[in-house]
Structure 1
Amino acid sequence: MYYPDPDYGIYMIKASDPAADWSDPVLVFPGKGIIDPCPLWDTDGKVWLVHAYAGSRAGIKSVIAIAPMNEAGTKVTGPDHIVYDGHVDDPTIEGPKIYKRNGYYYIFAPAGGVSTGWQLVLRSKNLMGPYERKVVMDQGKSTVNGPHQGAWVTTQTGEDWFLHFQDKEAYGRVLHLQPMHWIHDWPVIGVDKDGDGKGTPVLSYKKPNVGKTYPITTPAESDEFNQRTLGLQWQWEANSSGRWLMTGENGCLRLYAHHTPDAKTLWDIPNILAQKFPADSFEVTTKLRLTPNEKNGAQHAGLVVLGLDYASLSIVNQGDGYVLQQGICKAADRGGVEKNTVITKLKVPEVWLRVDVHNPGPNRASCTFYYSLDGNKYQAVTGNFIPTPGKWTGAKIGLYATAEKGSNDEGYADFDFFRVTALNASETK
């Protein structure tokens, strides 16, 4: 597996090796701003690496280059050469994938920008060009903007398909699968209704024929927290620590109220356990109980929708009891200040929290928070929150517990469950 570090170059790790160590990768191609690598083992036994450049690091972009490699594909053995310049017709061309078919070399690459671009294919009889260009898919009249990056795949039955993503703002980068076929040695991706060789993306289509039928499944979302390990849907905001949590104890997730000394807002907190938005519209409900440690000052535990702007609903311990508090922060990555509003006082530090994520328009999201003191009747928190993307990601929804001060021990919050349901599928609010 090849992956780029924009500051240092292209690295490789043998992902198929069970003993592969991500902490000790092989530096394949040193250089600042070298990104989006893809290898080609040619029919003559030679090996090549196609890549793009990140303008922010390399000082140049909108070009595609190819470099020779050793037979094992573990080291670039000579200088790279630019084989296509997209400055005029295909600005910000990047993400190349290289193939060989019917005597042609093909470079599939997106151009025009992540959310506004098109899918380009270059072809040549010679690896180093010159290359012909053709736009083989763009947004057209579909709602799938971009479409960006991607790769050609062939099923067990010989069908051709194309995988790519769409940037949907707060919903993140959503994966699409498009039909693909060949006309006169050019690929056509998506549906080409006017026959001009340029397709548009489809939102629904006949499933690929892979030789057998599989049951319909969706990625994991909800979690009853009955297991000793977290599901693959969860991710931390930073490299994780085993002291942040305890799982599977009495059917709860226990998050310890960790103190981060330099944190000004939740944007700076590493121990937020979150997952990506699972759909355009959905509802999340959780139940939590806070057990603070008086030595740690104010402790917060709750539910957060996290992006460059974020909103949270949490239990906070105060000197005279507990409150339910909403926090909202704009431009958190640029030093925005969190504004807090007390929603209600709590007799006990236990509450059910809910957020509904609505989809009022293409690539738009809106969130409404709720709380309940008995798990049956929910009260809306005034005002809707408009989520924003994070850094290179969509918004996330997650759980957290934090402390104002550090000590030799930490309080904690027990989350009984995290349930994702279709919007309006729950009982009366």
Structure 2
Amino acid sequence: MKKKRILLSIFCILSFSLCSQNMVNEVSKAWVSDLGNGEYKNPVLYADYSDPDVCRVGDDFYMTASSFNCIPGLPILHSKDLVNWTIVGHAIGRMPENAIFGDGVNHGGNVWAPSIRYHKGEFYIYYGDPDLGIFMTKTKDPCREWEPLVLVKEGKGLIDACPLFDDNGDVYLTHGYAGSRAGIKSLLAVTRLTPDGKKAEGESKIIYDGHDIDPTIEGPKFYKRNGYYYIFAPAGGVATGWQLAMRSKDIFGPYERKVVMDQGKTEVNGPHQGAWVDIPTGEDWFLHFQDVGAFGRITHLQPMVWKNDWPVIGEDKDGDGCGNPVLTDKKPNVGKTYPIATPAESDEFNTNSLGLQWQWHANPESWWYFTNQEKGYLSLYSVPNPDNYQSLWDVPNLLLQKIPAPNFTATIKLALKPDLRFTGERTGLIVMGLDYALLSFENTETGFTLSQVECQKADKGGMEKINASVPLKDATVYLRVKVNPDASCSFSYSTDDKKYTPLGNRFMAKEGRWIGAKIGTFCSRPLKGNDGGRVDIDWLRISK
């Protein structure tokens, strides 16, 4: 046992050392949870890390979250204290060939509600693809390459998967059902897996029906404690629901249920779906999300205690066993103080790879970009618009990142280098969602034109309209968007990064399909051909 603990400690030190090679990001200028006085404020991540799950290995914590159609997928975040998080990698570099993408974007599809577990020296992630079934990937080092995806259980509508590696070597999986694909929802099931966790054995058994009192129960997380099997699961809807805990002495039930956290009189709506994690000092904590519309599903950290073998999450003022979310609290007692850290946001594009905060809207082609470390900028090559193009909604080569705070400014410096054989190539700064708006910088017949463009109901086939335009002489321009707590966005531009001129109308950001609004850039052209132009992006900076 002592030898195992020593080896685990060595692994954690080496793993953290490798991960820390990616942790060179500056602290966010827009949102920091750590208050610097031994306390933190919620959310710990004001960004769309939807359906978070966490595991602990020694004194290291690893988180993953839903990534849906965005690539790379399954982000991996690391923390030493559950408050300060950095992105250290992704488990999926590319969706498999049988994934549903087509020539466009599978908005809201692909990767739903993953779980991450550590078992016998390996990290496992399971997730449900609502169109294909339940997948798994694993690795010995979460900061490096993960194994190719394995289809564990095929089936339309199987989602929200979480394994349990039992004490006797048996392996089980709990999952939910997506009504949009399976034709049924509000049910949880358990199935047995092969000892290697790679394949389901037999049919799933329904272990809980939430239709009567827990509608839309989903997102189950599997645990074992004091001889009980526990399933933590949200119910009642994403923005309006509550957090359940269920327990049984038999893994296939019957399960008792109890509401262990709800909104109460707080401002934290729908507090649910996340991860119970214990720490070496004996404390228990729970991470969950809150749906805040255009800003996505942001991550909160709640204190948790056990009473009579039931979890109580948050603050239980009336002692009824159902807690309410806290907005501030003492940081977890992990034995020491760690530096303030936040996920990457700004990017100077001076390394030989894309920053870990960036995701494409679909599987990328290798030629879409070039990280020009020598010159210190990112080149995006113009990609022909898809057939039957209507708007950027179905353009896969959008390079985007999550909105990082309720109040921030994003500024990008770029230079458009069009192919002068034709016109219509464009780039810009975009706020993307079901509705979107952008500063569109285009090579036209009369030269460079900057326009503020808006597209309402892009998901329903809406078309772009131009609110305002100005001609520009220079290929280099600075584009800026100011995002406010009410999700309103104001655009401006500059030719010298000193004086910024407003352009166009105020735009109300809107969430995407199952994801928050995102910000970023692109480079596109209307024509197919054997070559095209590019945009050279010097930097993108996030500030207050």
TM-score bracket for the superposition, by shorter chain length: over 0.9
Alignment of 1:33 with 2:160, yes or no, is: no
TM superposition shift of 1:37: 1.6
Q: Which residue number in structure 1 is paired with residue 266 of structure 2?
A: 142
User: Within 2, Cα distance between the matches of 1:320 and 1:79?
Assistant: 65
Matches within 5 A, 1:170-185: 170-185=294-309
Query: Does the CA-based 8 Å contact 2:386-2:394 persist in structure 1?
Result: no
Tell me the secondary structure at the aligned position of residue 413 of structure 1. Answer: strand
Alignment of 1:332 with 2:458, yes or no, is: yes
TM superposition shift of 1:231: 0.8
User: Within 1, Cα distance between the matches of 2:396 and 2:169?
Assistant: 47
User: Within 2, Cα distance between the matches of 1:353 and 1:342?
Assistant: 14
TM superposition shift of 1:396: 0.6
Matches within 5 A, 1:122-201: 122-201=246-325
Tell me the secondary structure at the aligned position of residue 192 of structure 1. Answer: coil
TM superposition shift of 1:201: 1.1
TM superposition shift of 1:220: 1.0
Q: Structure 2: state its 5+ residue gaps.
A: 1-124
Moved more, 171-180 or 39-48: 39-48
Return the letter of the residue paired with 2:235: A
Alignment of 1:384 with 2:506, yes or no, is: yes
TM superposition shift of 1:69: 2.4
TM superposition shift of 1:397: 0.4
TM superposition shift of 1:196: 1.2
- Cα displacement string for residues 158-216 of structure 1 (whole angstroms, at most 9, x for unaligned residues): 21111111112111111111110011111100111111111111222111122322100
Moved more, 318-327 or 2-11: 2-11
Query: Does the CA-based 8 Å contact 2:349-2:378 persist in structure 1?
Result: yes
Query: Does the CA-based 8 Å contact 1:323-1:342 persist in structure 2?
Result: no
User: Within 2, Cα distance between the matches of 1:233 and 1:8?
Assistant: 27
Q: Which residue number in structure 2 is paired with residue 394 of structure 1?
A: 516
TM superposition shift of 1:143: 1.8
TM superposition shift of 1:249: 4.7
TM superposition shift of 1:406: 2.6
1:32–1:261 CA distance, 2 compared to 1 (3 A): closer
TM superposition shift of 1:58: 1.5
Q: Which residue number in structure 2 is paired with residue 251 of structure 1?
A: 376
User: Within 2, Cα distance between the matches of 1:416 and 1:42?
Assistant: 51
Equivalent of residue 369 in structure 1, options 464, 482, 491: 491
Matches within 5 A, 1:230-379: 230-247=354-371, 248-262=373-387, 263-360=389-486, 365-379=487-501
Query: Does the CA-based 8 Å contact 1:367-1:385 persist in structure 2?
Result: yes
Which runs of structure 1 show a deviation greater than 4 angstroms over 4 or more consecutive aligned residues? 17-20
Q: Which residue number in structure 1 is paired with residue 36 of structure 2?
A: none
Moved more, 219-228 or 4-13: 4-13
Equivalent of residue 409 in structure 1, options 524, 531, 536: 531
TM superposition shift of 1:10: 1.6
User: Within 2, Cα distance between the matches of 1:19 and 1:168?
Assistant: 33
User: Within 2, Cα distance between the matches of 1:98 and 1:111?
Assistant: 16
- Cα displacement string for residues 349-388 of structure 1 (whole angstroms, at most 9, x for unaligned residues): 222111000003xxxx111101112211111124211111
- Cα displacement string for residues 29-75 of structure 1 (whole angstroms, at most 9, x for unaligned residues): 22222211222233344332211111112221111111222322222
User: Within 2, Cα distance between the matches of 1:244 and 1:27?
Assistant: 29
Tell me the secondary structure at the aligned position of residue 79 of structure 1. Answer: strand
Return the letter of the residue paired with 1:327: V
TM superposition shift of 1:341: 3.4
1:37–1:327 CA distance, 2 compared to 1 (3 A): same
Equivalent of residue 229 in structure 1, options 328, 353, 361: 353
TM superposition shift of 1:19: 6.3
Q: Which residue number in structure 2 is paired with residue 427 of structure 1?
A: none
1:302–1:132 CA distance, 2 compared to 1 (3 A): same
TM superposition shift of 1:413: 1.5
Moved more, 138-147 or 299-308: 138-147
Alignment of 1:214 with 2:349, yes or no, is: no
User: Within 2, Cα distance between the matches of 1:44 and 1:198?
Assistant: 33
1:314–1:354 CA distance, 2 compared to 1 (3 A): same
Query: Does the CA-based 8 Å contact 2:467-2:504 persist in structure 1?
Result: no
Equivalent of residue 219 in structure 2, options 85, 92, 95: 95
User: Within 1, Cα distance between the matches of 2:419 and 2:530?
Assistant: 10
User: Within 1, Cα distance between the matches of 2:353 and 2:279?
Assistant: 34
Return the letter of the residue paired with 2:500: Y
Moved more, 36-45 or 104-113: 36-45
TM superposition shift of 1:110: 0.3
1:67–1:198 CA distance, 2 compared to 1 (3 A): same
User: Within 2, Cα distance between the matches of 1:63 and 1:404?
Assistant: 46
1:56–1:340 CA distance, 2 compared to 1 (3 A): same
- Cα displacement string for residues 290-328 of structure 1 (whole angstroms, at most 9, x for unaligned residues): 121122321111100011100010221221222211110
User: Within 1, Cα distance between the matches of 2:540 and 2:349?
Assistant: 8
Q: Which residue number in structure 2 is paired with residue 425 of structure 1?
A: none
Q: Which residue number in structure 2 is paired with residue 60 of structure 1?
A: 184
Return the letter of the residue paired with 1:391: R
Query: Does the CA-based 8 Å contact 1:118-1:138 persist in structure 2?
Result: yes
Q: Which residue number in structure 1 is paired with residue 98 of structure 2?
A: none
User: Within 1, Cα distance between the matches of 2:140 and 2:266?
Assistant: 38
State the superposition RMSD in angstroms: 1.7
User: Within 1, Cα distance between the matches of 2:171 and 2:383?
Assistant: 49
User: Within 2, Cα distance between the matches of 1:176 and 1:103?
Assistant: 29
Tell me the secondary structure at the aligned position of residue 237 of structure 2. Answer: coil
User: Within 1, Cα distance between the matches of 2:370 and 2:166?
Assistant: 50
Q: Which residue number in structure 1 is paired with residue 18 of structure 2?
A: none
Tell me the secondary structure at the aligned position of residue 14 of structure 1. Answer: strand
Return the letter of the residue paired with 2:490: T
Q: Which residue number in structure 1 is paired with residue 240 of structure 2?
A: 116
User: Within 2, Cα distance between the matches of 1:326 and 1:181?
Assistant: 51
1:342–1:321 CA distance, 2 compared to 1 (3 A): farther
Q: Structure 1: state its 5+ residue gaps.
A: 423-429
Return the letter of the residue paired with 2:277: V
Equivalent of residue 85 in structure 1, options 202, 209, 219: 209
Q: Percent identity?
A: 58
Query: Does the CA-based 8 Å contact 1:296-1:403 persist in structure 2?
Result: no
Return the letter of the residue paired with 1:301: T
Return the letter of the residue paired with 2:495: L
Tell me the secondary structure at the aligned position of residue 13 of structure 1. Answer: strand
Return the letter of the residue paired with 2:241: G
Tell me the secondary structure at the aligned position of residue 184 of structure 2. Answer: coil
